[in-house]
Structures are given as structure tokens and as C-alpha cells.
Structure 1
Amino acid sequence: MNSEGIVDTGLNILRLDLGRFDRRFGIGPACWPFFDLLWIHSGSVQIRIGGANLTLQAPDGVLIAPDVAFEGRSQGADASICHFDWTAPDLACPHGFLRPGLVAGANLQTMIRLLHRHAAQNASAEIRKRLLRAILDGFSPPAETDPPSRVDRAWQEATEKLAEIRSLQDVAALAGLSESSFRAEHRTQHGAPAGRHLQRLKLRHAARLLTTTGLTLSDVAAQVGFAHAESLSAAFSRHYGQSPGRYRRAHRHLA
């Protein structure tokens, strides 16, 4: 396993790993607070993501969005994973996952193998970052011609300064809107409550800090804009089904 740290607010590799799935070692169940690129190099797996059932036959893979539950099984498959933060497409996975383009499989497999080789050889962070971005292009939906809306620009800015975001009113101010107008525009564009999205952003970042730093719970709460550690603990337990301390112990290998 290789843990990577890229100094880039948009892209940060957390973990690269190679392994094998079979009857003894299945996939999940899991629900990560970061993106998970699962790639099948040989063999096949059956995986359930949200309400979708997928069969991945090498060379094939799936890009799973944060906070999306998944699990799978295989009779035998060689696979790799890449866990990473990626702020740019935070609202771009309406189904919880993305698939590669129709003709991208072989090219992506070559690039993914090269990414793991670069990591093993301690290639520069910039080289690995550029390669991962090229890989992600193979999963991205067609680029939009319209610029980001003021709502999405506000979310991008809020993601970079969560410690200063105490309420949805703070996010609305970044868009130059009242809270009620921001709520309405967000729901129109994304079909979900803005308050829920803010809570998910805060808890997802809290989960990252718990698994990748030694910060106390009070410090984590301050970093993600919660007034008290107790408030964070209650919200975190409701969202992830376990306390922050238990979550940290269970995911300590990511630190």
C-alpha cells in the first residue's frame, strides 16, 4: 500500500493498493468519505452500488462517489483501488458512480498500472497528479459548455473554507443570495435540500481528518465548522452509524 499526499486543493491521493478478490475476500460492504476508483485488471466482479447492480469484466472499473454504499463479490479477480479527494466534481455523480467511456478500458488500464508503478518508484507528486487527472477524464461525463452557476461556485468556495462556514446562510452569502433564495436555486439545480448537502460536506471532511490526522475531536469540529465536539459527534454518529472514535479506529490504516 502506498499513501500519497498531493498539495492541491482539488485532488489529493490518499491510498493506492493492488490485490485480489475471490470467495474469501469480497468487496465491502463499505461507504467511504472520499472517491474510490476500483479497477478490475483480470477476471470479473459483481458489485452493487446504491440501487444498481454492475458486472465488471476486465479491463473495466467504476468510480464511486463519496458517501455511497457498495459491496460486491467475485470468483476471482485481480484489482486495484485508488482512494482520493476531488473537490471539482462534488455534485457531478447523480447516480453515485461513473463508468468509463465505451472505448476507454484498455487505455485506462495501462494508465492505472503506470500510476501504481510511479507510486512504487516515488515519482514526483506532480507526475502522479497529472496521470490521475488523465485517468479521471476517462470517467467524466461530457464537459458542460455553460460556466458553473453561482450556487456551484459558492459550494466550491465553501468547501475550501469549511472552518468559516457555520450555517447555510454563510454559503448563501458567498453566492450573493439570501438563504431562502439559495435554498430554492440549489433545489432547482440539484433536486435535493441545500442543508443536507452542507451537512454531508462537513461530515465527509470530518471523516477525512479522523482517518488521516491525529487531531482531537474538538479540533476536527473546529476545522469543519461545528461549534462543539458534542454536536459533531452526534451528527457523525447519525450519518455513519458509529461514533467518531470508533470510525477512526476502524479506518486507522488510512492514516
Structure 2
Amino acid sequence: MDILSEALASMRTGRPVSVRTTGHAPWAVGLPPVSGSGFHVVLSGSSWLTPLESPAEGEAARPVRLLEGDVVFLRDGCGAVLGDRPDTAPQEPREAEFAPGAPIGTVVVGEEGGERADLLCGYYHLDQARPHPLVSRLPRIVHLPAAGTRSPELAAAIGLLRSELDRPRMGSAGIVPALIDSLLLYVLRAWYEEQPTERARGWAAALSDQAVAPALTALHGDPARSWTVQELAARAGLSRAAFARRFTDLVGEPPMAYLTRWRMTTAARLLRESEETLAAVAARTGYGSEYAFAKAFKREYGQAPGGYRRELRAAA
């Protein structure tokens, strides 16, 4: 069971939205907040990104220097200004243009002649109302410099994106969206893997912990099972109390609380994406009756599962 893939799949509510942004110095463009998580990839040149909100209470929003090959991920889609310098006044971008068969649109800012930068900008539709802690406990701004990353896969994905966008060919309309979709996994995997082992805490440590990681895999792999803390502790070779403390310390909540969270997250995804009956969803998430499931779901989401499904479909 791939916990990262499962966690992201549970949050996705649509395909990514993206455009290729070309800036000619002096240039800057204001980017409004989005309902998901934003991202920017520098395909060529360089730029500055200035968040419109502080990354943490009491801290000032600091400009981030982006060089070719850099990636920045905005966890909760905060607004920002992107430009050639932090002090360049934002302009109104030209309307996005879509060439026939092109996988994404293009936006041009500034007048030709100035120093040029090309970026891929967009956002992922991720449910921010109930984000998985793998995402919600990331820094608000994740910056992965090309020069410092130890992820050849991320660098390769960016190189492939650059190639397909520079020279669209047969299949590009399918390849580019797939690469953008995969980019999120590469970004988050690179960030988690690059956390220093000796200082890693929280989920960065949980994903590699010899006791907690197998327990998370078990809970994700079979949420319908009647798991007990004792059973999970035995798998880890720890006492019940020692395992519960370790799990809570790294994951941020006790094992059974996390199991309930994952069951409800799985149920919401099934209601959103499948045609399974409420009784079938209840069985797949560990509830012996539709009534018990509906009661638990309403406690977590504030509405009955049937109403949740109807509301999503009415909005689609």
C-alpha cells in the first residue's frame, strides 16, 4: 500500500489546471488564492515569487528566488506575486491563449525584448476542507531548488515537461497532463525524502519509522478490518503503550483516531467517485450497518452520506 498515493487520491477533486507563463522583464503578475494547492515550475530563466500571506503567524512573507528547474508548491493555494523582481508592480496578464490541440494555454506578461522567463503555473484540485495530514502538515511554501534536490526523478519529469511544451508532437496532449498530474507526487516524495533523518519529525519520520510505517500501511490497506492497538503493536514488536505513544507522537493522533479519519476519508472518496450503495460503502469502511456508518459520517462531515453524495453531484 502506497500511503502517499492513497492520501493524495483521497484529496483530489478534479484534474490540475495549468498554463505556461512567459514573462518579459520588467514583468510581474498577481496570482489570486486558489481552492487547492498551487505550483510553479521554472522551465527557463528565473523569477521571484512573493507570497501575499505570511507562511506562519507573526512572520513576514518573504520573496523566494526561483531559478531554472526550481519547483515551488503552495500547500493551501495562497495568493502570490510572480515576477522578474520582488519590487516590480504586478500587471494584468493577457488572456490565456489555447492553440488547437495544445494541452495547456499560454499567458504572456510584459513586452518582448526584456529578459525572458518561462514557467508552468497552476494548481491541483485538492480538498482543503479535510486535507490529509501528509499535506496539511507541510510548510505552506515548499521550495525545491534544482541545484539542491536529490531527486533525479523530479528533475527528469521537469525535463520531459519542458521538452513536450517546447516541441509539441503526437501524443503531447495526453503526455503533458499526465506529467503535471505526476509532478505532485514527485514534489511531495522529494520533500519528504530530503528531510534530514536525524531531525525528521512528524510524517517525515512516520513514513520511514520501523514501527509506525507498517501500521499505517496496514490501516490504509484494510480500513474495514476491526483493528486494535494491541494487534498493531504486536506487528511492530512493541508493547501496546509504547506503540501508542510512538504512533501519536509521529502521526499527530492516536492509532484508532487515525483509523476513523481514514475510514471517513475513504468513504467520502467512494461516495464521490463510485456508484456503490451506502450499505456497500459502510461495509468497505468497517461499519456493520448502514445506520452506524451514517451516524459516524454525519459526525465527521456534518451531513448524512446520501446528502453528501447528492450535493457533490448537483455541483458537478
TM-score range, shorter chain: 0.5 to 0.7
Q: In the alignment, is the contact (CA less than 8 A) between 1:98 and 1:139 conserved in 2?
A: no
TM-score for both structures, normalised by structure 2: 0.51
Answer with 50-59 or 219-228: which moved more. 50-59
How far off its partner does 1:138 sit?
4.9
Aligned residue pairs total: 231
1:151 corresponding residue in structure 2:
212
Residue identity opposite 1:121 in structure 2: A
Q: Would you say the 8 A contact 1:202–1:224 is kept in 2?
A: yes
Q: 1:196 aligns with which of 248, 253, 257?
A: 257
User: In the aligned structure 1, how far is the partner of 2:133 from the partner of 2:248?
Assistant: 12
Larger Rg: 2
Which one of 110, 124, 128 corresponds to residue 82 of structure 1?
124
2:34/2:78 contact within 8 Å kept? yes
Structural mapping, 1:34-183, within 5 Å: 37-39=37-39, 46=52, 61-62=72-73, 64=75, 80-83=122-125, 92=134, 95-97=137-139, 99-101=141-143, 103=145, 111=158, 114=161, 121-123=173-175, 131-140=183-192, 141-142=194-195, 144=197, 147-177=208-238, 179-183=240-244
**Residue 172 of structure 1 aligns to a residue in which SS?**
helix
CA contact (8 A) 2:40 2:122 kept: yes
Separation in 2, partners of 1:231, 1:49: 40
Q: Is the 8 A contact 2:17 2:124 kept in 1?
A: no
Specify every segment of 5 or more residues in structure 1 that has no aligned partner in the other structure, as ranges. 1-6, 29-35, 65-69
Which amino acid is the alignment partner of residue 172 of structure 1? Answer: A
Aligned equivalent of 1:213, options 274, 292, 301: 274
> RCO (CA 8 Å, sep 6+): is it higher in 1 or 2?
2
Higher strand proportion: 1
**SS in structure 1 of the partner of residue 143 of structure 2:** coil
TM-score by length of 1: 0.61
Percent of aligned pairs with the same residue?
A: 22
Q: Relative to structure 1, is the Cα distance of residues 242 and 93 closer, same or farther in structure 2, using a 3 angstrom cutoff?
A: same
CA gap of 1:17–1:134, structure 2 versus 1, over 3 A, is closer
| Residue identity opposite 2:188 in structure 1 | L
Deviations 1:106-129 (A, max 9, x none): x98993993997997234999777
Over the aligned positions, Cα root-mean-square deviation in angstroms equals: 5.1
Shift of 1:100: 2.5
